[in-house]
Amino acid sequence: MAVIKSICVYCGSSFGASPRYAVIADELGREMGRRGMRLVYGGGRVGLMGKVADAVLKAGGQVTGIIPKHLEDAEVGHQGLTELKIVDSMHTRKRMMFDQSDAFVILPGGAGTLDETFEIITWRQLKLHDKPVVILNVDGYWDKLIGLFDHVIDNGFARPSVRQLFSVVNGVGRLFDLLAQQPETADTDYPERM
């Protein structure tokens, strides 16, 4: 079985319309910290980003934040992390987040979260990695995204196997059960091939 030590969490820099999103972000962070898993994320201290980071830290876990200089002020870079890396661009940020993570979890978020989600799923489709990608579908938040994948498949722009590139869970407990079942990856040389 693959050992998941670091999880990259993609999520919003705001809290969204439902208080449940923050509750789940907090639950995810606490469970990661309790299990000794490191959080890798976008480095902000606001919104769901800040909520999950604070929860990991409070539970005794480690957090690496990676934030571009131009967003450090807008997303209010979190100064209380184990490590905060300030980088030159979004491309550098996303690459570093990928390199330092064993799995990817998607919480509710906006356009930036969608960008990261599509990119990491596409990289998996192109066989640039085989790390788990899990959508945490809080109260059906991602139902329309999942429906969009079905729409793309139904209209002949993707094979049905695209649905195997990611998993969907409704709760934090199920997320960790799923990650514990992940097989070893066949090739650990992914970053160099990208």
Whether residue 115 lies inside any domain: the answer is yes
Tell me which H or E stretch contains 105: strand 103-106
Longest alpha-carbon distance in the chain: 47
Look up the domain containing 165 and give its range: 6-177
In terms of C-beta density within 10 A (0-12 exposed, 13-18 middle, 19 or more buried), how is residue 66 classed? buried
Whether residue 193 lies inside any domain: the answer is no
Whether residue 190 lies inside any domain: the answer is no
Whether residue 191 lies inside any domain: the answer is no
Taking only the tens place, the pLDDT of each residue in 64-100 is 999 999 888 776 899 999 999 999 999 999 999 999 9
Whether residue 183 lies inside any domain: the answer is no
Whether residue 1 lies inside any domain: the answer is no
User: 133: domain CATH number?
Assistant: 3.40.50.450
Taking only the tens place, the pLDDT of each residue in 12-66 is 999 999 999 999 999 999 999 999 999 999 999 999 999 999 999 999 999 999 9
Number of domains in the chain: 1
